[in-house]
Structure formats: structure tokens, C-alpha cells
Structure 1
């Protein structure tokens, strides 16, 4: 812990640092002394350090009421677990973290006697599935970013900085591609001040700097964007199925190349206009979700937080099923997951932290639900996950 290089740490780096998380959730004296003195010893990272603390502090257990008998049963269960785990400090800490980050309540119901198979999005020439590092591609230059997340800033002059480090300037009119592989995320501040978060397994195409006309970017995968208002220069997010046109607003676009899932737009606030490939125009208001599949679309009201929390490294669920949780994990890590019918309808509410390593996320899920998750390596080099009911 003392030997780590924290000089260039971002909030995302802190949230992926086991020492920092353990201090937030279950500190001992040594950790408390180190992190309490951290702001004074590392003033250059204080803003990101504070942001990470606020993020951890925002994660709370869901509120729900139990009958007295249920409370007694829950207490006995907790004490039984505590006695079994008190001699195993490491596992106890992981459970504490799991409880703080993902309060999941499980209840089994009757389900169809079929296995649920969730397949990763189809690979394309952009190949985020084949990449192991985040890549920024500009013309013939390709900048590989070894960190688990990347924060990129673009200036109107074409200057680009990655995690605070300046790289060679690009021509303002040149289109760049940001490739984000499975299990990683990136955020980018565009030349007009608009901020974009790019999800796992995505390719984001954007100009080094916007010109005087409309501002146009494209996405294959998922992004969340907070657009800087400019009535003279409308902002357009393009994907293979539709265009989303805005003047100034925040929304999420999910457009993976996967015929098994609908493409969607979730509008957090403001107003947008969607133009489908058939030329049909659809107006959205705050809290609207537009979904398009097989040429047909729907618009429904939703809680946007359940669809955009991934940008903060979390999945948020409210009375959802394990089937839905597994589907989102499969899409995020671009891995096939086979779910046993005995557990598909387990009810899940809370927040699940997305670790960089799939196995860590599955470990947390296994700790708080009566399931086993087994990762299998296939002969072709791909991975598959089997989720079954816990038998012991």
C-alpha cells in the first residue's frame, strides 16, 4: 500500500483499489492512519480521492420492512455466517464489501424448464472483443492505454490528453476511434465540453475537434453523454439503426451489434429526437426509454438510474430477476453465460460493483446469492460461465 504510485490516480482507480475499498468499508488502525493522512501526503489527487469517497458513500442498502419472525431468522443466519467466517478475515471482508455494494434479496419461484443462454454481442471489424487494452486510434497512429479505465480530454486545437498525459495533436477534422474492450470503461471530454462515458465492448467515433456545423459522433455499443448546449450546432449520435438529435441534454444510447437485444435510448433529462433507418421520427421526454428491435419500436417510462449507473462502475437493480442481472453481466464482459432454470427468477434489488476481472464480480454475486458460478475455458480460447443453484 505504501509503495503504490498514487500521483496519477483517478476516482475510478481508487474505486478499483482493494486497499482503498477495504479502508472505506472495514478499516483497521494501519489503514485508517494511512488513508486519513493521504490528502496531506498526496494533494495532487485530493479531488479524485474525495470523488471516490463520495461514490462509495452513495452506495447504500435498500430499505425494506421485515416481520419480527423474519428479523429473528435473518439475525440467526447472520450470526451463523459470522461464527463460520470470523477466522477467515479475507472472505469476511469480501462479504462486507458485497453487502455494502450489492444488497440482493433472493426468493425462488417456478420457472420454465429450459436453460437461459445469454450470448455476447457479435464481433465486428472494430473488434473490441479481441482487444485487451483501451485503444485510441487516429489515422495510422494507435495509442494503447494499459490502465483499467481511461479519461481523455480533447481541446478545440486538436490536442489530446489521456489520463492527464499529452499525446501528439491530431488534425481537428480527423475522425478518431476509441475502442473499449470487455470489462473496461472510458470517459472523454469532447472539444465542445460535452462529456461522454463509453461502456465495455464499445467503439466510439468522434472528431478531434468540432467544426462550425452540426456536431456528429457515432457509437457501436453503449455510451452515456452529457451534451453541452449549443442551439447553433445540434448534436447527433449515430448508430447503425437510428440517429439521436439533441441541443443539450443527458441520455444513454445502447446499440450493440446483437440481434438478441433491442437497441435503446434512455433520456435522463431534456429532449431528443430519434430518426430511425426508415425515416420515422420519435420525440422523447425525460425518463422515456425508446427501444427498437426488428424494425418495431416502443417508448415507455423508466427509472433512468437503473440504465445509466454502469458509468459509475455499478449495475443497479430494483426487484429485477437474476436472469436480467446475468444478461447485463454477459453483455458487459462479452461472455456467454448459461443460467440454470432453478435460479433464473431469483429476485434481485440493489447495486452490484463491476470489477475489472469477471471472476471478482462473480465471486461477489456468489457470496450474496445461493448460486455457484463456474468459468469454463473453451478450446477456441473463449470463456463461458455456468450459473447453478448452490447445493451446500
Structure 2
């Protein structure tokens, strides 16, 4: 009972922060994306009593799901409340996993149900797909898995940074979708990174992948190849990188090589669940080559970074200023 109370308390705190305007960017995005995705156009507003009922409804659903198999269609006690619950990501601790995840089930086009899984700040989430492919999900990143996964093909959507270890299956090709950017494989290991939203990147650690945009083939990539695509212009850049080093963040080391500072800061924001404000045009143009262990504390990472930049940082509440 103590554990359940703790989870309800934390879930309530996330809703409190959102409703009071003090939620982090990740928390705001989490709630607003799924509120809109459920078809609601009005602003999400909950009274204190409604918020408590929402949190309890979410948690009761988790308890029922963990206690016994659930039928495809469940009896709804309160349609409006459960629609709200389906719009807000569920804070969930999964038995046997040393990680947290947000999980959301919603219905998309063609009446297909999607499960969205989001890794919580501070911990890489290792997630095994129904075909036994293993995904390492960077904190603050998310995947969407349709309920027809592994039938005709294996297709998931990615928002953020995910490293894939895909189980070979020639009969069912694997597709990682980052918006209209598609990576197709049969069996390999690679990374998709959409943190720099207008410039997604694909990096191959083993095997080969094909990358296309809006159905048009862009390139075939092999080991240590990286493709960076500029969404606004349609231009692409092909680079040779040390994929074993760059893709080792899920194994304890986060490395950057000539990486734009805003992109580095977004990784730090996602990892630690904080908001960072960069002041000064000089710093916005900087590129960074550095690495740190994923067990490093936030002050350690900020100190290392600002020394590299000959800059300073200041922490104010939940926001960090770098100047």
C-alpha cells in the first residue's frame, strides 16, 4: 500500500505542476500531446477532486491490468473521466524493471491501437518488443508501437533518441518512423535521434539500413555511417563517425563530437529532466567535443561543460541558466 500511495502522490504532483504552470517542458509535452491526440480541443482543466479521481482511476486500471489479463473491451465506469485518463500519460513502475516509464494507449487512424512508452528522466529504459528486438530509450524519448506490430511487418514511431537491436526476420521488415523519415532494416543495430527536431539523424553500428523521406530513398547506410537530414530544406549530410562510441550512451557513457551546443543541452535536459536557458549568441554557435559517464551528477556535468565553453551556469528553481 505504501508503494501505491507513493505512485499516486507522484502522478498527482505531475498534474499539479501542469495545472499550475510549473511543469517542465517534458511534462507539459507529455500531457498536451496526448490530450490533443485523444481528440480533445478544449484546454485541459481539472478541479482538485477531478484530479484525484483521475489519478486513482489510472492507478486502479494499472492494478487490474497487473492482476489478471484484460479483455479487449473493458466496461467503462465513467466515460468522461476515463477519456481524460487515456489522454494523460500513466506513471508506471513495471515489476522486474529497474526503470520508470510513462505508458499511454490511444486509438489512431484505421482503428489501430498504439501504445506509447516514454522513458523517465535519469534512466535509460530497456524495452523488448513483441518480436524480441531490444530498444534502449533515452530519457525523455518515446516510442509508439501499434497493436498489429509483427503481423505483416514491424513498424514503430520514434520521438527522441532510441538505439535499436533488431532481431533478424526476412519475412517481416522492421521500420523505424521519425515523422516522414523512415529507416528500414531486416536485422541490425542502429540509432535514431530526433532531438534536434528539424535535423533528425540515423547512425548505424552494425549491419545496413535504408533511409527514405516521404517515400523517396535517401541513402543506404553501413557501419559507422551517419545521415543527418534537414527537414526545412530537404538537404542531407552523410558523415563517418565512431558509432560504437556515439551510441554507447545506453551502456554508461554519453559522448559528443563537434556537436552543436543546443543539441548537447537538449540531451542534458532530457537526461536530468530540467529546463536549460542558453544566454548569448556566442554560445549558440559553439560546438562541443566531450563525454561524461551517465552516472555523473547534474552539477558535475554542468561544471565540465561550462569549463569547456569558458562560461558559467546558475540554477534557479527548476531552470538552469548558462551564460
TM-score, normalised to structure 2's length?
Answer: 0.58
Residue 125 of structure 1 pairs with residue 33 of structure 2: yes
Native 8 Å contact 2:195 2:263 kept in 1: no
Deviations 1:252-292 (A, max 9, x none): 00124733xx1010011111111202523421111111111
* Displacement of 1:232: 1.0
1:175 counterpart residue number: 114
Question: Is the alpha carbon distance of 1:289 and 1:257 closer, same or farther for their aligned partners in structure 2, counting shifts above 3 Å?
Answer: closer
Residue 353 of structure 1 pairs with residue 288 of structure 2: no
1:187 to 126, 135, 148: 126
Question: Is the alpha carbon distance of 1:237 and 1:162 closer, same or farther for their aligned partners in structure 2, counting shifts above 3 Å?
Answer: farther
Distance across 1 between alignment mates of 2:176 and 2:120: 21
Distance across 1 between alignment mates of 2:217 and 2:308: 45
1:253 counterpart residue number: 192
Distance across 2 between alignment mates of 1:164 and 1:355: 15
2:322 counterpart residue number: 387
Corresponding pairs, count: 236
Residue 292 of structure 1 pairs with residue 200 of structure 2: no
Question: Is the alpha carbon distance of 1:126 and 1:354 closer, same or farther for their aligned partners in structure 2, counting shifts above 3 Å?
Answer: farther
Residue 338 of structure 1 pairs with residue 278 of structure 2: yes
Residue 268 of structure 1 pairs with residue 205 of structure 2: yes
* Displacement of 1:351: 2.9
Distance across 2 between alignment mates of 1:145 and 1:211: 25
> What SS does structure 1 have at the residue aligned with 2:33?
coil
Matches within 5 A, 1:41-190: 123=29, 125-126=33-34, 144-146=91-93, 162-163=96-97, 175-190=114-129
> What SS does structure 1 have at the residue aligned with 2:142?
strand
2:170 counterpart residue number: 231
> What SS does structure 2 have at the residue aligned with 1:231?
coil
Residue 373 of structure 1 pairs with residue 313 of structure 2: yes
Native 8 Å contact 2:265 2:276 kept in 1: no
TM-score, normalised to structure 1's length?
Answer: 0.49
Question: Is the alpha carbon distance of 1:358 and 1:240 closer, same or farther for their aligned partners in structure 2, counting shifts above 3 Å?
Answer: same
Question: Is the alpha carbon distance of 1:364 and 1:281 closer, same or farther for their aligned partners in structure 2, counting shifts above 3 Å?
Answer: closer
> What SS does structure 2 have at the residue aligned with 1:280?
strand
Distance across 1 between alignment mates of 2:129 and 2:113: 13
Larger radius of gyration between Structure 1 and Structure 2:
1
Structure 2 stretches of 5 or more lacking a match? 1-24, 36-58, 66-71, 73-84, 100-104, 106-111
Distance across 1 between alignment mates of 2:149 and 2:262: 42
2:81 counterpart residue number: none
Distance across 1 between alignment mates of 2:166 and 2:126: 13
2:255 counterpart residue number: 316
Distance across 1 between alignment mates of 2:168 and 2:127: 17
Distance across 2 between alignment mates of 1:327 and 1:271: 28
> What SS does structure 2 have at the residue aligned with 1:200?
coil
Q: CA RMSD in A?
A: 4.1
Question: Is the alpha carbon distance of 1:256 and 1:322 closer, same or farther for their aligned partners in structure 2, counting shifts above 3 Å?
Answer: closer
* Displacement of 1:180: 2.1
